[in-house]
Structure 1
Amino acid sequence: MGHNRLRHRLVDSDQSWSARQRRRRSDWLARTFPDIGDMHVVDLGGRLGTWHRATVRPARVTVVNLEQPPAAVPEWAHVEQADACDLPAHVVNGTYDLVFSNSVLEHVGGHERRLRFAAATRSLADRHWVQTPYRYFPIEPHWIAPGMQFLPIRLRTALARRWPLGHKPTRSHEAAIHQVLWTELLDRSQMRHYFPDSRMLIERVAGLPKSLIAVRTGA
């Protein structure tokens, strides 16, 4: 229970350190796109909760996620159950002002699928904001474990089964290795490769790069 309370204070509660970081990032998004309140935003891989908590909510939000859509969807939103790396034609043919993605690119499943995700981002709108945790920040953000991302798969899997601050605690080897293999943190060279025409913003904590944000503000 003590570890659960610690994770709650660090990450999960609305007053946690992580929640404060998310609010700062939301403010940054609003400053970067001052007309976001009038936009139709397509959120690749996100959830509606992001926009309920946003500093400024867009006029319209389309969320694309592999998960089953929630039972209740507000009138300003639409949720599409789909793969952001292989979008259905009716999503591709939609009209959007901004593509948004937060902490998704590291979970899409390898280099080839990241290329497809980046291509989809560029094709959907002239403007985008794509954030992903930085590989060389000393704390692995999903498990809140120092240096975990640098360990061999076998040790990362063992740690995922036992580390008490993980985002999805599990004792099963198969579940743990599934989580580990679906989490690949990126560095700056990779992000520049996937988004060569974007400006790269660096989110810092205590002076250290914590996440990378590929931003394009217009054609």
Structure 2
Amino acid sequence: MSLVKKVADNSSTASLSHSMRYKRFVYFKSLIDKLNKPVTILDIGGTQEYWINMGVDSKDIKITLLNLSLQTTTSPNFLSVVGDATNLSEYANRSFDIVFSNSVIEHLFTKENQGRMAREVMRVGKYHFIQTPNYYFPMEPHFLFPGFQFLPKSVRVLLINKFNLGHICRKGNIEDARSIVEEIRLLKTKEMQELFPKSIIWKEKFAGLAKSIVAHNLS
């Protein structure tokens, strides 16, 4: 395995990214273990496979998986629904005990959309636990290219159009490449605090640097 994949490839269970994701989940579980059961969770962008891999398949935890398309579920503890993270109008206020999300809020193209998601998260959940990669971490996690987020947009589009980078396959179409680049808007700590103003900001660190940022109100 290359050094890049060892650090940032979420698809590899041997990668640093996977290891940190598991440690983050252990932290999350330590917080929700204090809540009264049963617990209802809305996971924005999640899969049953993720929760099962993390050791969660309990009748005391009911998880609704909200995505742009239906996900495969095989356990009665999981429900897959189609929805939009920026508009959860189908759910009343405080419909869920917890709204949970890994690496979704940076995929919403604009700051305005990120604000809409944050407001909906805080509206429908009594608690929330929202993670996103840190803008300032040197290795961009989607394209697995050091400093990719700091390059001019035109250069990022050119690289995506010409090469296979990270989790993104080469498209061979400049407009597709531009859309991919525009989809990702990494967030800084200050921005996460502004989006979730009453939340605890918890940072995952590697080599002294914050690799990702979590906003939560589970304390």
Q: Report the TM-score range of the alignment, normalised by the length of the smaller protein.
A: 0.7 to 0.9
Range that drifts further, 7-16 or 159-168: 7-16
Give the aligned residue type for 2:23.
R
Identity of aligned residues (%): 31
**CA distance, structure 2, for counterparts of residue 43 and residue 72 of structure 1:** 13
For 1:6-45, what aligned pairs fall within 5 Å after superposition? Answer: 7=5, 11=9, 12-35=11-34, 38-45=38-45
Change (3 A) 1:84 1:73: farther
**CA distance, structure 2, for counterparts of residue 145 and residue 106 of structure 1:** 17
Give the aligned residue type for 1:25.
R
**1:188 equivalent in structure 2:** 189
Q: Please report how far the alpha carbon of residue 188 of structure 1 lies from its aligned counterpart in structure 2 after TM superposition.
A: 1.2
Q: Compare the two structures and name the one with the higher helix fraction.
A: 1
**1:105 equivalent in structure 2:** 105
**Among 45, 65, 68, which residue is 2:67 paired with?**
65
**CA distance, structure 2, for counterparts of residue 210 and residue 7 of structure 1:** 15
Change (3 A) 1:189 1:6: closer
**CA distance, structure 2, for counterparts of residue 207 and residue 14 of structure 1:** 22
**CA distance, structure 1, for counterparts of residue 7 and residue 198 of structure 2:** 38
Paired residues of 2:94 and 2:123 also in contact (CA < 8 A): no
Give the aligned residue type for 2:199.
S
Give the aligned residue type for 2:79.
H
Q: TM-score, normalised by structure 1?
A: 0.88
Q: Deviations over 1:37-82 (max 9, x none)?
A: 731110112222221222445610001111x213444211111101
**CA distance, structure 1, for counterparts of residue 218 and residue 4 of structure 2:** 38
Q: TM-score, normalised by structure 2?
A: 0.88
Aligned length: 214
Q: Which runs of 5+ in 2 are unaligned?
A: none
Paired residues of 2:72 and 2:80 also in contact (CA < 8 A): no
Give the aligned residue type for 1:45.
G
Change (3 A) 1:208 1:8: closer
Helix, strand or coil: the match of 1:126? Answer: strand
**Cα RMSD for the two superposed structures:** 2.4
Q: Which runs of 5+ in 1 are unaligned?
A: none
Q: Please report how far the alpha carbon of residue 14 of structure 1 lies from its aligned counterpart in structure 2 after TM superposition.
A: 2.4
**CA distance, structure 2, for counterparts of residue 118 and residue 209 of structure 1:** 21
Give the aligned residue type for 2:18.
A
**1:144 equivalent in structure 2:** 144
**CA distance, structure 2, for counterparts of residue 85 and residue 133 of structure 1:** 19
Paired residues of 1:85 and 1:120 also in contact (CA < 8 A): yes
